[in-house]
Amino acid sequence: MLEAELSKNRILASLPQRESSRLLPGSKVLQIRPNDVLFHPGERLRYVYFPVGAVISLVASTRDGRDVAVSVTGSEGLIGIRTILGSNTHWHMAVVLTPGECLRARADVLRAEFKRGGVLQDRVLAYLRYLLVQISQTAACNRVHALDKRLARWLLMIQSRVQTREFQMTHEVLSSTVGAPRSEVTITAGMLRKAGLIRYTRGRITLLDRKGLESAACECYRIVAEELRSVK
């Protein structure tokens, strides 16, 4: 079962058998659902998570209780990358956006394999470079772009990872993702629906016109998508 999951994550699929076999001890496939929290800020960094179907977001929280997503990760990457930077604790909260599976591996095992300097190291560093672009572009996007453009961008990023036109997503999760009150997200999602770009019913979103949604999104989507395509 574990070996089958390796092929569904871009980092794991690229590893030679000798490296992937060293990651398997202590690993486990988890079924995760929207709003599941994999870890909270300040918790000990015991595990890393490789999505193989689910989409997971890192969320920053403020003292007044507001949340905003700083990154989103699907099968292209991993959650818990701070372990290779020498950290023993998590800085953000990891929240599941869409349901699916992820492979949970021991952080100490990943750290040891990374230090060997093999293919895993190259792949993780390539993903880290992409992640830095995504996070920095998100910071700029949240500051200067209107909510409708940001929402279109996040929907496109999520859809490109689930690779289906329809996916499960509640307004509560969307609110946390774009960093806006639920009431504003509801109104904005309604605008996209009236424009014929999406359909939203009972916690499920369907992208009806992807090209139209790309036109409605800010340039941040293109910048981050192009960077992801450059990650080999």
For residue 204, what are the β-bridge partners? 168, 201
Q: Which residue, 8, 7, 28, is CA-closest to 17?
A: 7
DSSP class of residue 116?
A: T
Domain stop point among 139, 155, 190: 139
- Same structural domain for residues 110 and 205? no
- Same structural domain for residues 226 and 128? no
Rounded to two decimals, the pTM is 0.92
- Same structural domain for residues 85 and 178? no
- Same structural domain for residues 55 and 91? yes
Number of domains in the chain: 2
pLDDT digits (tens, 9 = 90+) for 74-121: 999 999 999 999 999 999 999 999 999 999 999 999 999 999 999 999
pLDDT at 169 > cutoff 90: no
- Same structural domain for residues 93 and 37? yes
Please report which confidence band the pLDDT of residue 1 belongs to, taking 50, 70 and 90 as the band edges: low
Query: What pLDDT, on the 0 to 100 scale, is given for residue 6?
Result: 67
- Same structural domain for residues 17 and 120? yes
DSSP class of residue 44?
A: B
Report the 3 state secondary structure along 89-102. Answer: ECCCEEEEEECEEE
Please report which confidence band the pLDDT of residue 231 belongs to, taking 50, 70 and 90 as the band edges: confident
Q: Is 20 helix (H, G, I), strand (E, B) or coil?
A: helix
- The domain that contains 70 carries what CATH number? 2.60.120.10
- Same structural domain for residues 20 and 105? yes
pLDDT at 64 > cutoff 80: no
Sequence-distant (≥ 6) Cβ neighbours of residue 10 within 8 angstroms: 75, 76, 77, 123
Please report which confidence band the pLDDT of residue 232 belongs to, taking 50, 70 and 90 as the band edges: low
Give the mean pLDDT of 147-153: 95
- Same structural domain for residues 149 and 134? no
